[in-house]
Amino acid sequence: MAWVLFFDGDCGFCSKSVQRVYALDKKEVIDYAPLQGELAGEMGLAKFADKEGGTLVMLREEDGDKFYKGDAWVVLGNALGGVWAVLAKIFGMFPKAVRDWSYDLVAKNRYQIAGKNEACSMPEEGLRNRMRK
């Protein structure tokens, strides 16, 4: 199954997280796209790059289903497999309101955690090849 992880390309925390996910994605099932990019714009997802609390979006390409916030974390863990799928199963047992609250807490503080990217950092070649516009 193929996935696209949409992330805030202006967020240092988000960009670093994408690099970590890429390194963990041994099955190479996840592609990446910034919420400020063309694909996100075409899909109506650009609004999720809000500075006040952006939203990670996971798109399942097979059927076009989209997952947001805490649900996206669960889907991401399952896509990565292994220990991440186990952690996703545990996190998925919490009520959606709790998952989304914890997601929102991180999202609202992401610029304080890692800053805002003034310029696009160039990821390694393998990740660049999995980036969508």
pLDDT for 101-118, tens place per residue?
998 888 787 666 655 555
In the chain, how many domains are there? Answer: 1
- For residue 11, the SS3 value is strand
Q: What is the pTM of this model?
A: 0.81
Rounded Cα gap, residues 116 and 30, in angstroms: 24
Reported as a single tens digit per residue, the pLDDT across 19-71 is 889 999 999 999 999 988 899 999 899 888 776 666 878 889 889 899 999 99
Rounded Cα gap, residues 73 and 89, in angstroms: 10
Q: HSE, CB side, 13 Å, CA atoms: give it for residue 97.
A: 0
Exposed/middle/buried for residue 92 (C-beta within 10 Å: 0-12, 13-18, 19+): middle
Domain hosting residue 19, numbered range: 3-129
